[in-house]
Structure 1
Amino acid sequence: MARKNYTTDQKISRLRVYNIVAGSLHLVQALGFAYVLTLLSTQVTFPVTADYLSGPPGVPLPPERVTLFDVNVGIGVVSFLALSAVFHFLISSPKFFPRYAAGLRADRNYFRWVEYSLSSSIMIWLIAQITGITDIAALFSIFAANAAMIMFGALQEKYETPGNGKFLPFIFGSMVGVVPWIVILIYFIGPGSTSEAEPPAFVYGIIISLFLFFNTFAVNQVLQYRQIGGWRDYLRGERAYITLSLVAKTALAWQVFSGAIIPALT
Protein backbone atom coordinates (compact mmCIF):
# COMPACT_ATOMS: atom_id res chain seq x y z
CA MET A 1 0.00 0.00 0.00
CA ALA A 2 1.47 3.34 -1.07
CA ARG A 3 2.16 5.86 1.65
CA LYS A 4 -0.02 8.93 1.35
CA ASN A 5 1.80 12.15 0.61
CA TYR A 6 0.55 15.25 2.37
CA THR A 7 1.04 18.86 1.37
CA THR A 8 2.79 21.23 3.77
CA ASP A 9 -0.54 22.79 4.76
CA GLN A 10 -2.00 19.36 5.47
CA LYS A 11 1.01 18.38 7.57
CA ILE A 12 0.71 21.57 9.60
CA SER A 13 -3.01 20.95 10.12
CA ARG A 14 -2.19 17.44 11.34
CA LEU A 15 0.39 18.91 13.71
CA ARG A 16 -2.34 21.13 15.13
CA VAL A 17 -4.35 18.02 15.96
CA TYR A 18 -1.27 16.32 17.36
CA ASN A 19 -0.59 19.30 19.61
CA ILE A 20 -4.13 19.11 20.95
CA VAL A 21 -3.72 15.38 21.61
CA ALA A 22 -0.36 15.91 23.34
CA GLY A 23 -1.75 18.81 25.36
CA SER A 24 -4.70 16.69 26.44
CA LEU A 25 -2.43 13.84 27.56
CA HIS A 26 -0.27 16.26 29.54
CA LEU A 27 -3.35 17.82 31.11
CA VAL A 28 -4.95 14.50 32.07
CA GLN A 29 -1.75 13.43 33.80
CA ALA A 30 -1.38 16.78 35.56
CA LEU A 31 -4.95 16.60 36.88
CA GLY A 32 -4.54 12.96 37.89
CA PHE A 33 -1.34 13.60 39.80
CA ALA A 34 -2.84 16.73 41.38
CA TYR A 35 -5.69 14.56 42.66
CA VAL A 36 -3.21 12.07 44.14
CA LEU A 37 -1.54 14.95 45.99
CA THR A 38 -4.85 15.78 47.68
CA LEU A 39 -4.87 12.26 49.16
CA LEU A 40 -1.56 12.76 50.96
CA SER A 41 -1.66 13.66 54.62
CA THR A 42 1.99 14.74 54.39
CA GLN A 43 3.46 16.18 51.21
CA VAL A 44 6.83 15.00 49.90
CA THR A 45 9.17 17.99 49.91
CA PHE A 46 12.83 18.72 49.26
CA PRO A 47 14.64 21.45 51.22
CA VAL A 48 16.46 24.28 49.48
CA THR A 49 19.35 25.39 51.65
CA ALA A 50 22.12 27.96 51.89
CA ASP A 51 25.44 27.63 53.71
CA TYR A 52 26.59 30.88 55.31
CA LEU A 53 29.96 31.75 56.82
CA SER A 54 30.15 31.10 60.56
CA GLY A 55 33.56 32.71 60.91
CA PRO A 56 36.29 34.51 58.97
CA PRO A 57 36.92 33.18 55.44
CA GLY A 58 39.36 30.27 55.47
CA VAL A 59 38.76 29.35 59.10
CA PRO A 60 37.89 25.62 59.30
CA LEU A 61 34.52 26.08 60.94
CA PRO A 62 31.37 24.30 59.75
CA PRO A 63 29.13 26.74 57.87
CA GLU A 64 25.73 27.76 59.12
CA ARG A 65 23.19 25.80 57.06
CA VAL A 66 19.80 27.45 56.69
CA THR A 67 16.71 25.98 55.02
CA LEU A 68 15.30 28.78 52.88
CA PHE A 69 12.19 26.98 51.65
CA ASP A 70 10.88 23.58 50.67
CA VAL A 71 9.98 22.39 47.17
CA ASN A 72 6.90 20.18 46.91
CA VAL A 73 8.05 17.50 44.46
CA GLY A 74 4.50 16.57 43.51
CA ILE A 75 3.59 20.14 42.64
CA GLY A 76 6.83 20.36 40.65
CA VAL A 77 5.75 17.39 38.54
CA VAL A 78 2.25 18.78 38.05
CA SER A 79 3.70 22.16 37.06
CA PHE A 80 5.86 20.94 34.17
CA LEU A 81 3.03 18.76 32.86
CA ALA A 82 0.54 21.63 33.10
CA LEU A 83 3.00 24.05 31.51
CA SER A 84 3.38 21.78 28.50
CA ALA A 85 -0.38 21.41 28.21
CA VAL A 86 -0.82 25.19 28.23
CA PHE A 87 1.68 25.69 25.40
CA HIS A 88 0.24 22.88 23.28
CA PHE A 89 -3.24 24.38 23.59
CA LEU A 90 -1.88 27.89 23.09
CA ILE A 91 -0.28 27.19 19.72
CA SER A 92 -3.37 25.27 18.62
CA SER A 93 -5.68 28.18 19.44
CA PRO A 94 -7.16 30.40 16.71
CA LYS A 95 -5.10 33.35 17.93
CA PHE A 96 -1.65 31.73 17.91
CA PHE A 97 -1.93 28.90 15.39
CA PRO A 98 -1.33 31.18 12.35
CA ARG A 99 1.91 32.39 13.96
CA TYR A 100 2.90 28.80 14.79
CA ALA A 101 2.16 27.69 11.21
CA ALA A 102 4.12 30.59 9.72
CA GLY A 103 7.09 29.69 11.89
CA LEU A 104 6.98 26.06 10.80
CA ARG A 105 7.00 27.13 7.15
CA ALA A 106 10.16 29.11 7.95
CA ASP A 107 11.74 26.11 9.74
CA ARG A 108 11.41 27.46 13.25
CA ASN A 109 9.19 27.20 16.32
CA TYR A 110 10.02 29.71 19.03
CA PHE A 111 7.03 28.61 21.13
CA ARG A 112 8.77 25.26 21.61
CA TRP A 113 11.96 26.77 22.94
CA VAL A 114 10.18 29.06 25.40
CA GLU A 115 8.20 26.13 26.79
CA TYR A 116 11.25 23.85 26.98
CA SER A 117 13.32 26.54 28.72
CA LEU A 118 10.77 26.50 31.54
CA SER A 119 9.48 22.93 31.69
CA SER A 120 12.77 21.09 31.16
CA SER A 121 14.51 23.40 33.64
CA ILE A 122 11.90 22.50 36.26
CA MET A 123 12.54 18.85 35.40
CA ILE A 124 16.32 19.13 35.80
CA TRP A 125 15.82 21.01 39.11
CA LEU A 126 13.73 18.09 40.44
CA ILE A 127 16.23 15.52 39.17
CA ALA A 128 19.02 17.44 40.93
CA GLN A 129 17.10 17.49 44.20
CA ILE A 130 16.32 13.79 43.96
CA THR A 131 20.07 13.12 43.88
CA GLY A 132 20.56 15.15 47.06
CA ILE A 133 21.43 18.63 45.80
CA THR A 134 19.89 21.19 48.14
CA ASP A 135 22.11 24.27 47.82
CA ILE A 136 20.21 27.21 46.35
CA ALA A 137 23.21 28.44 44.35
CA ALA A 138 23.69 25.03 42.73
CA LEU A 139 19.99 24.58 41.98
CA PHE A 140 19.49 28.00 40.42
CA SER A 141 22.70 27.58 38.41
CA ILE A 142 21.50 24.19 37.14
CA PHE A 143 18.13 25.73 36.20
CA ALA A 144 19.82 28.66 34.43
CA ALA A 145 22.36 26.49 32.59
CA ASN A 146 19.60 24.24 31.28
CA ALA A 147 17.50 27.23 30.20
CA ALA A 148 20.56 28.68 28.44
CA MET A 149 21.07 25.40 26.59
CA ILE A 150 17.50 25.60 25.31
CA MET A 151 17.97 29.20 24.20
CA PHE A 152 21.03 28.17 22.19
CA GLY A 153 18.73 25.69 20.46
CA ALA A 154 16.46 28.60 19.60
CA LEU A 155 19.45 30.54 18.23
CA GLN A 156 20.33 27.56 16.04
CA GLU A 157 16.90 27.86 14.45
CA LYS A 158 16.99 31.64 14.23
CA TYR A 159 20.40 32.09 12.61
CA GLU A 160 21.06 28.81 10.78
CA THR A 161 19.11 26.94 8.12
CA PRO A 162 18.81 23.16 7.78
CA GLY A 163 21.50 21.78 5.52
CA ASN A 164 23.96 24.69 5.70
CA GLY A 165 26.31 22.67 7.93
CA LYS A 166 26.68 25.34 10.62
CA PHE A 167 26.24 24.26 14.24
CA LEU A 168 27.92 26.91 16.40
CA PRO A 169 24.83 27.72 18.57
CA PHE A 170 24.16 23.99 18.90
CA ILE A 171 27.75 23.34 20.02
CA PHE A 172 27.64 26.14 22.59
CA GLY A 173 24.31 24.83 23.84
CA SER A 174 25.73 21.34 24.23
CA MET A 175 28.69 22.68 26.20
CA VAL A 176 26.37 24.52 28.59
CA GLY A 177 23.77 21.76 28.74
CA VAL A 178 26.16 19.04 29.89
CA VAL A 179 27.10 20.98 33.05
CA PRO A 180 23.93 20.17 35.06
CA TRP A 181 24.38 16.48 34.28
CA ILE A 182 28.01 16.54 35.42
CA VAL A 183 26.93 18.11 38.73
CA ILE A 184 24.11 15.57 39.11
CA LEU A 185 26.52 12.71 38.37
CA ILE A 186 28.96 13.94 41.02
CA TYR A 187 26.23 13.96 43.66
CA PHE A 188 24.89 10.63 42.47
CA ILE A 189 28.29 8.91 42.67
CA GLY A 190 29.28 10.76 45.85
CA PRO A 191 33.10 10.83 45.53
CA GLY A 192 34.70 11.12 48.99
CA SER A 193 31.48 10.24 50.80
CA THR A 194 31.76 7.85 53.76
CA SER A 195 28.04 7.18 53.87
CA GLU A 196 26.87 3.67 53.03
CA ALA A 197 23.46 4.93 51.91
CA GLU A 198 22.50 3.93 48.38
CA PRO A 199 20.10 5.87 46.13
CA PRO A 200 16.73 4.14 45.67
CA ALA A 201 16.31 2.13 42.48
CA PHE A 202 13.91 4.68 40.99
CA VAL A 203 16.64 7.34 41.18
CA TYR A 204 18.87 5.19 38.95
CA GLY A 205 15.97 4.87 36.52
CA ILE A 206 15.31 8.61 36.48
CA ILE A 207 18.92 9.62 35.87
CA ILE A 208 19.57 7.06 33.14
CA SER A 209 16.25 7.43 31.31
CA LEU A 210 16.05 11.23 31.48
CA PHE A 211 19.68 11.66 30.44
CA LEU A 212 18.93 9.57 27.36
CA PHE A 213 15.69 11.43 26.66
CA PHE A 214 17.35 14.84 27.02
CA ASN A 215 19.98 13.80 24.49
CA THR A 216 17.44 12.54 21.97
CA PHE A 217 16.26 16.15 21.59
CA ALA A 218 19.79 17.07 20.51
CA VAL A 219 19.89 14.11 18.12
CA ASN A 220 16.60 15.25 16.62
CA GLN A 221 17.99 18.71 15.92
CA VAL A 222 21.16 17.25 14.40
CA LEU A 223 19.05 15.09 12.09
CA GLN A 224 17.05 18.18 11.08
CA TYR A 225 20.09 20.31 10.34
CA ARG A 226 22.07 17.54 8.70
CA GLN A 227 19.03 16.85 6.53
CA ILE A 228 19.22 13.11 7.16
CA GLY A 229 16.48 10.82 5.83
CA GLY A 230 12.94 11.90 6.65
CA TRP A 231 14.32 14.83 8.64
CA ARG A 232 14.84 16.69 5.38
CA ASP A 233 11.28 17.72 6.10
CA TYR A 234 11.40 20.12 9.05
CA LEU A 235 7.88 19.08 10.04
CA ARG A 236 9.10 15.53 10.66
CA GLY A 237 11.41 16.92 13.31
CA GLU A 238 8.61 19.02 14.78
CA ARG A 239 6.44 15.94 15.23
CA ALA A 240 9.41 14.16 16.82
CA TYR A 241 9.88 17.04 19.28
CA ILE A 242 6.24 16.77 20.37
CA THR A 243 6.56 13.02 20.85
CA LEU A 244 9.87 13.25 22.72
CA SER A 245 8.52 15.95 25.01
CA LEU A 246 5.47 13.90 25.90
CA VAL A 247 7.45 10.71 26.50
CA ALA A 248 10.21 12.39 28.56
CA LYS A 249 7.79 14.28 30.79
CA THR A 250 5.60 11.22 31.24
CA ALA A 251 8.62 9.09 32.15
CA LEU A 252 9.85 11.54 34.80
CA ALA A 253 6.38 12.14 36.22
CA TRP A 254 5.55 8.47 36.66
CA GLN A 255 8.97 7.55 38.03
CA VAL A 256 8.86 10.34 40.60
CA PHE A 257 5.31 9.53 41.65
CA SER A 258 5.86 5.78 41.79
CA GLY A 259 9.15 6.12 43.66
CA ALA A 260 8.55 9.07 45.97
CA ILE A 261 4.85 9.97 46.10
CA ILE A 262 2.87 6.72 45.96
CA PRO A 263 4.83 5.15 48.89
CA ALA A 264 3.74 8.14 51.00
CA LEU A 265 0.12 7.02 50.59
CA THR A 266 0.78 3.81 52.52
Structure 2
Amino acid sequence: MSSDEGHDIAQSAVGVNRQSFRTLRRWNLGLAVLHAAQAVVVVVLATDFAIAVTRTLPAGPPGTPLPAPEELFDVRIGWAIAAFLGLAALDHLVTATVARVTYERDLRQGINRFRWVEYSVSATIMLLLIAFYNGITGISAILAIIGANAAMIWFGWLQESMNPPGRRTVTMLPFWFGTAAGLFPWLAIAYNLVAADSVPGFVYGIFISLFVFFSSFGLNQWLQYKGVGPWASYAFGEKAYLVLSLVAKSALAWQIFAGSLAG
Protein backbone atom coordinates (compact mmCIF):
# COMPACT_ATOMS: atom_id res chain seq x y z
CA MET A 1 0.00 0.00 0.00
CA SER A 2 1.38 3.43 -0.95
CA SER A 3 1.50 6.28 1.52
CA ASP A 4 -1.07 8.16 -0.60
CA GLU A 5 -3.52 5.28 -0.45
CA GLY A 6 -3.05 4.97 3.28
CA HIS A 7 -3.71 8.69 3.65
CA ASP A 8 -6.88 8.41 1.53
CA ILE A 9 -8.24 5.58 3.66
CA ALA A 10 -7.45 7.34 6.93
CA GLN A 11 -9.20 10.53 5.86
CA SER A 12 -12.10 9.03 3.93
CA ALA A 13 -15.39 7.37 4.66
CA VAL A 14 -15.06 3.60 4.94
CA GLY A 15 -14.46 1.91 1.58
CA VAL A 16 -14.03 5.18 -0.33
CA ASN A 17 -10.76 5.07 -2.30
CA ARG A 18 -9.39 5.26 -5.83
CA GLN A 19 -10.67 1.82 -6.78
CA SER A 20 -14.21 2.60 -5.62
CA PHE A 21 -14.07 5.91 -7.51
CA ARG A 22 -13.24 4.10 -10.74
CA THR A 23 -16.10 1.64 -10.20
CA LEU A 24 -18.61 4.35 -9.31
CA ARG A 25 -17.62 6.42 -12.35
CA ARG A 26 -18.32 3.48 -14.67
CA TRP A 27 -21.66 2.91 -12.96
CA ASN A 28 -22.63 6.58 -13.18
CA LEU A 29 -21.78 6.73 -16.88
CA GLY A 30 -23.71 3.55 -17.56
CA LEU A 31 -26.76 4.72 -15.63
CA ALA A 32 -26.69 8.09 -17.40
CA VAL A 33 -26.98 6.28 -20.72
CA LEU A 34 -29.67 3.85 -19.55
CA HIS A 35 -31.85 6.52 -17.94
CA ALA A 36 -31.51 8.82 -20.96
CA ALA A 37 -32.40 5.99 -23.33
CA GLN A 38 -35.53 5.20 -21.32
CA ALA A 39 -36.53 8.87 -21.35
CA VAL A 40 -36.27 8.92 -25.14
CA VAL A 41 -38.36 5.75 -25.46
CA VAL A 42 -41.04 7.19 -23.18
CA VAL A 43 -41.24 10.38 -25.29
CA VAL A 44 -41.56 8.32 -28.47
CA LEU A 45 -44.30 6.08 -27.03
CA ALA A 46 -46.14 8.75 -25.05
CA THR A 47 -49.77 9.52 -25.84
CA ASP A 48 -51.67 12.74 -25.21
CA PHE A 49 -52.93 11.40 -21.87
CA ALA A 50 -52.89 14.22 -19.32
CA ILE A 51 -54.33 14.97 -15.89
CA ALA A 52 -55.63 18.41 -15.00
CA VAL A 53 -54.38 20.26 -11.94
CA THR A 54 -57.26 22.10 -10.29
CA ARG A 55 -57.99 24.68 -7.64
CA THR A 56 -60.97 25.29 -5.37
CA LEU A 57 -61.13 28.76 -3.87
CA PRO A 58 -63.38 29.97 -1.04
CA ALA A 59 -66.50 31.78 -2.29
CA GLY A 60 -67.74 33.37 0.90
CA PRO A 61 -67.49 33.28 4.70
CA PRO A 62 -66.06 30.18 6.42
CA GLY A 63 -68.49 27.31 6.04
CA THR A 64 -69.79 28.44 2.67
CA PRO A 65 -70.06 25.45 0.29
CA LEU A 66 -67.08 25.39 -2.04
CA PRO A 67 -67.60 25.75 -5.78
CA ALA A 68 -66.67 23.06 -8.26
CA PRO A 69 -62.91 22.70 -8.88
CA GLU A 70 -61.50 24.90 -11.62
CA GLU A 71 -58.91 23.49 -14.03
CA LEU A 72 -55.59 25.34 -14.00
CA PHE A 73 -53.40 23.37 -16.40
CA ASP A 74 -52.80 19.87 -17.73
CA VAL A 75 -49.83 17.66 -16.91
CA ARG A 76 -48.80 15.38 -19.76
CA ILE A 77 -47.95 12.14 -17.97
CA GLY A 78 -45.52 10.82 -20.58
CA TRP A 79 -43.51 14.04 -20.56
CA ALA A 80 -43.46 14.13 -16.76
CA ILE A 81 -42.06 10.60 -16.66
CA ALA A 82 -39.45 11.51 -19.27
CA ALA A 83 -38.43 14.48 -17.10
CA PHE A 84 -38.09 12.15 -14.10
CA LEU A 85 -35.78 9.84 -16.04
CA GLY A 86 -33.93 12.74 -17.63
CA LEU A 87 -33.10 14.25 -14.25
CA ALA A 88 -31.67 10.92 -13.10
CA ALA A 89 -29.58 10.71 -16.28
CA LEU A 90 -28.30 14.26 -15.79
CA ASP A 91 -27.34 13.59 -12.17
CA HIS A 92 -25.29 10.51 -13.09
CA LEU A 93 -23.67 12.23 -16.08
CA VAL A 94 -22.66 15.31 -14.07
CA THR A 95 -21.14 13.30 -11.21
CA ALA A 96 -19.15 11.19 -13.65
CA THR A 97 -17.81 14.13 -15.68
CA VAL A 98 -17.79 17.87 -14.97
CA ALA A 99 -18.49 17.53 -11.23
CA ARG A 100 -16.45 14.37 -10.69
CA VAL A 101 -13.88 16.05 -8.43
CA THR A 102 -16.56 17.54 -6.19
CA TYR A 103 -18.52 14.28 -6.15
CA GLU A 104 -15.49 12.24 -5.12
CA ARG A 105 -14.43 14.79 -2.51
CA ASP A 106 -17.92 14.62 -1.01
CA LEU A 107 -17.85 10.82 -0.96
CA ARG A 108 -14.66 10.95 1.09
CA GLN A 109 -16.63 13.02 3.59
CA GLY A 110 -19.50 10.52 3.63
CA ILE A 111 -21.99 12.62 1.70
CA ASN A 112 -23.42 12.98 -1.81
CA ARG A 113 -25.12 16.34 -2.24
CA PHE A 114 -25.86 15.67 -5.91
CA ARG A 115 -27.99 12.68 -4.94
CA TRP A 116 -30.16 14.67 -2.54
CA VAL A 117 -30.68 17.58 -4.93
CA GLU A 118 -31.75 15.25 -7.74
CA TYR A 119 -33.95 13.10 -5.48
CA SER A 120 -35.74 16.16 -4.08
CA VAL A 121 -36.95 16.98 -7.59
CA SER A 122 -37.25 13.63 -9.38
CA ALA A 123 -38.80 11.70 -6.47
CA THR A 124 -41.30 14.51 -5.96
CA ILE A 125 -42.33 14.36 -9.62
CA MET A 126 -43.00 10.65 -9.33
CA LEU A 127 -44.90 11.01 -6.06
CA LEU A 128 -47.12 13.68 -7.61
CA LEU A 129 -47.92 11.36 -10.50
CA ILE A 130 -48.96 8.66 -8.02
CA ALA A 131 -51.12 11.25 -6.25
CA PHE A 132 -52.71 12.24 -9.59
CA TYR A 133 -53.63 8.63 -10.26
CA ASN A 134 -55.47 8.55 -6.94
CA GLY A 135 -57.46 11.72 -7.48
CA ILE A 136 -55.27 14.23 -5.65
CA THR A 137 -55.09 17.05 -8.18
CA GLY A 138 -55.80 20.20 -6.19
CA ILE A 139 -53.00 22.74 -6.32
CA SER A 140 -53.07 23.26 -2.54
CA ALA A 141 -52.61 19.54 -1.86
CA ILE A 142 -49.93 19.34 -4.54
CA LEU A 143 -47.90 22.12 -2.92
CA ALA A 144 -48.18 20.38 0.46
CA ILE A 145 -46.98 17.09 -1.05
CA ILE A 146 -44.05 18.83 -2.71
CA GLY A 147 -43.00 20.38 0.58
CA ALA A 148 -43.34 17.19 2.62
CA ASN A 149 -41.47 15.01 0.13
CA ALA A 150 -38.69 17.55 -0.40
CA ALA A 151 -38.33 17.81 3.38
CA MET A 152 -37.95 14.03 3.61
CA ILE A 153 -35.15 14.11 1.04
CA TRP A 154 -33.41 17.05 2.71
CA PHE A 155 -33.51 15.23 6.05
CA GLY A 156 -31.59 12.46 4.28
CA TRP A 157 -28.99 15.06 3.33
CA LEU A 158 -28.90 16.25 6.94
CA GLN A 159 -28.44 12.65 8.12
CA GLU A 160 -25.22 12.44 6.12
CA SER A 161 -24.07 15.91 7.18
CA MET A 162 -24.49 15.10 10.88
CA ASN A 163 -22.63 11.78 10.68
CA PRO A 164 -19.22 12.48 9.11
CA PRO A 165 -16.42 9.89 8.91
CA GLY A 166 -14.61 9.36 12.19
CA ARG A 167 -17.69 10.09 14.30
CA ARG A 168 -17.84 8.45 17.72
CA THR A 169 -21.62 8.20 17.81
CA VAL A 170 -24.35 8.05 15.19
CA THR A 171 -27.53 10.10 15.38
CA MET A 172 -30.58 8.83 13.50
CA LEU A 173 -32.82 11.79 14.34
CA PRO A 174 -32.73 13.33 10.83
CA PHE A 175 -33.53 9.92 9.37
CA TRP A 176 -36.59 9.43 11.56
CA PHE A 177 -37.77 13.02 11.12
CA GLY A 178 -37.51 12.54 7.35
CA THR A 179 -39.38 9.24 7.55
CA ALA A 180 -42.21 10.94 9.45
CA ALA A 181 -42.43 13.83 6.99
CA GLY A 182 -42.38 11.49 4.01
CA LEU A 183 -45.20 9.29 5.29
CA PHE A 184 -47.90 11.96 5.17
CA PRO A 185 -48.21 12.19 1.37
CA TRP A 186 -48.54 8.42 1.28
CA LEU A 187 -51.25 8.54 3.95
CA ALA A 188 -53.18 11.06 1.85
CA ILE A 189 -52.84 8.87 -1.23
CA ALA A 190 -53.82 5.73 0.72
CA TYR A 191 -56.92 7.49 2.09
CA ASN A 192 -58.13 8.36 -1.42
CA LEU A 193 -57.37 4.85 -2.61
CA VAL A 194 -59.36 3.18 0.18
CA ALA A 195 -62.21 5.71 0.34
CA ALA A 196 -62.93 5.71 -3.40
CA ASP A 197 -65.99 3.77 -4.55
CA SER A 198 -64.23 2.33 -7.56
CA VAL A 199 -60.52 2.20 -8.39
CA PRO A 200 -58.95 0.20 -11.25
CA GLY A 201 -57.05 -2.81 -10.01
CA PHE A 202 -53.79 -1.66 -11.59
CA VAL A 203 -53.83 1.46 -9.40
CA TYR A 204 -53.71 -0.71 -6.27
CA GLY A 205 -50.78 -2.61 -7.71
CA ILE A 206 -48.96 0.61 -8.59
CA PHE A 207 -49.50 2.03 -5.10
CA ILE A 208 -48.15 -1.02 -3.29
CA SER A 209 -45.15 -1.63 -5.54
CA LEU A 210 -44.19 2.03 -5.71
CA PHE A 211 -44.39 2.42 -1.94
CA VAL A 212 -42.01 -0.53 -1.59
CA PHE A 213 -39.62 0.94 -4.17
CA PHE A 214 -39.71 4.39 -2.55
CA SER A 215 -39.04 2.83 0.85
CA SER A 216 -36.03 0.92 -0.47
CA PHE A 217 -33.98 4.14 -0.65
CA GLY A 218 -34.67 4.87 3.01
CA LEU A 219 -33.86 1.29 3.93
CA ASN A 220 -30.50 1.61 2.18
CA GLN A 221 -29.60 4.64 4.31
CA TRP A 222 -30.75 2.92 7.50
CA LEU A 223 -28.54 -0.09 6.70
CA GLN A 224 -25.62 2.29 6.07
CA TYR A 225 -25.84 4.01 9.41
CA LYS A 226 -26.53 0.83 11.32
CA GLY A 227 -23.43 -0.64 9.65
CA VAL A 228 -25.22 -3.86 8.66
CA GLY A 229 -22.85 -6.24 6.86
CA PRO A 230 -21.38 -4.72 3.69
CA TRP A 231 -23.30 -1.46 4.32
CA ALA A 232 -20.62 -0.59 6.89
CA SER A 233 -18.73 0.61 3.80
CA TYR A 234 -20.02 3.98 2.59
CA ALA A 235 -18.85 3.08 -0.92
CA PHE A 236 -21.05 -0.04 -0.86
CA GLY A 237 -24.03 2.05 0.23
CA GLU A 238 -23.35 4.50 -2.61
CA LYS A 239 -23.24 1.67 -5.12
CA ALA A 240 -26.51 0.35 -3.66
CA TYR A 241 -28.05 3.78 -4.31
CA LEU A 242 -26.92 3.45 -7.93
CA VAL A 243 -28.49 0.00 -8.25
CA LEU A 244 -31.72 1.36 -6.78
CA SER A 245 -31.52 4.32 -9.12
CA LEU A 246 -31.65 1.96 -12.07
CA VAL A 247 -34.01 -0.74 -10.80
CA ALA A 248 -36.43 1.25 -8.65
CA LYS A 249 -36.62 4.35 -10.84
CA SER A 250 -37.10 2.28 -13.97
CA ALA A 251 -39.87 0.26 -12.33
CA LEU A 252 -41.52 3.42 -11.00
CA ALA A 253 -41.39 5.11 -14.40
CA TRP A 254 -42.70 2.21 -16.45
CA GLN A 255 -45.53 1.33 -14.08
CA ILE A 256 -46.77 4.91 -14.11
CA PHE A 257 -46.31 5.05 -17.88
CA ALA A 258 -48.28 1.83 -18.37
CA GLY A 259 -51.03 3.36 -16.28
CA SER A 260 -51.10 6.36 -18.63
CA LEU A 261 -51.63 4.02 -21.57
CA ALA A 262 -54.45 2.32 -19.70
CA GLY A 263 -55.88 5.75 -18.96
Do both proteins adopt the same fold according to a TM-score greater than 0.5, normalized to the shorter chain?
A: yes
Deviations 1:13-49 (A, max 9, x none): 1100001111111001000011112xx4xx1111111
| 1:69 lines up with 2:73 in the alignment | yes
Aligned to 1:124: 127
Runs of at least 5 residues in structure 1 that lack an aligned partner in the other structure: 1-5
1:256 aligns with 2:247: no
**What is the alpha-carbon distance in structure 1 between the residues aligned to residue 238 and residue 61 of structure 2?**
54
Q: Does the aligned pair in 2 maintain the 1:20–1:88 contact within 8 Å?
A: yes
Within the alignment, does 1:115 sit opposite 2:118 as a pair? Answer: yes
**Structure 2 unpaired stretches of 5+:** 1-14
Is contact 2:213-2:252 (8 Å) kept?
no
Which of 166, 174, 187 is 1:182 aligned to?
Answer: 187
Does the aligned pair in 1 maintain the 2:51–2:76 contact within 8 Å? yes
Report the Cα distance in structure 2 between the residues aligned to 1:21 and 1:226, rounded to whole angstroms: 29
Structure 2 residue aligned with 1:134:
137
Q: Name the structure, 1 or 2, with higher relative contact order (CA <8 Å, separation 6+).
A: 2
Structure 2 counterpart SS, 1:52: coil
DSSP-derived class of the 2:164 partner? coil
The more displaced of 157-166 and 20-29 is 157-166
Establish whether residue 18 from structure 1 lines up as the match of residue 24 from structure 2: no
TM value normalised by structure 2: 0.89
Amino acid at match of 1:202: F
- For residues 96 and 136 of structure 1, the distance between their equivalents in structure 2, rounded to whole angstroms, comes to 35
Give the Cα–Cα distance (whole angstroms) in 2 for the partners of residues 7 and 53 of structure 1: 55
CA distance in 2: counterparts of 1:178 and 1:222, whole angstroms:
16
C-alpha distance in 1 between matches for 2:152 and 2:53: 23
TM superposition shift of 1:63: 2.0
Kept after mapping to 2: 8 A contact 1:54/1:64? no
Q: Are the equivalent residues in 1 in contact too, given 2:16–2:108 (CA < 8 A)?
A: no
Secondary structure of 1:71 counterpart: strand
Counterpart in the other structure of 1:238: 238
How many residue pairs align between the two structures? 247
Aligned to 1:225: 225
The one-letter code sitting in structure 2 at the alignment partner of 1:14 is T
Deviation at 1:7, TM superposition (A): 7.7
Decide whether aligned partners of structure 1 residues 71 and 213 sit closer, same or farther in structure 2, where only a CA change above 3 A counts: same
Other-structure match for 1:170:
175
Cα deviation, residue 218, structure 1: 1.2
1:86 partnered with 2:90:
yes
1:206 CA displacement: 1.5
- Deviating 4+ runs (over 6 angstroms): none
**Which amino acid letter does the alignment assign opposite residue 119 of structure 2?**
Y
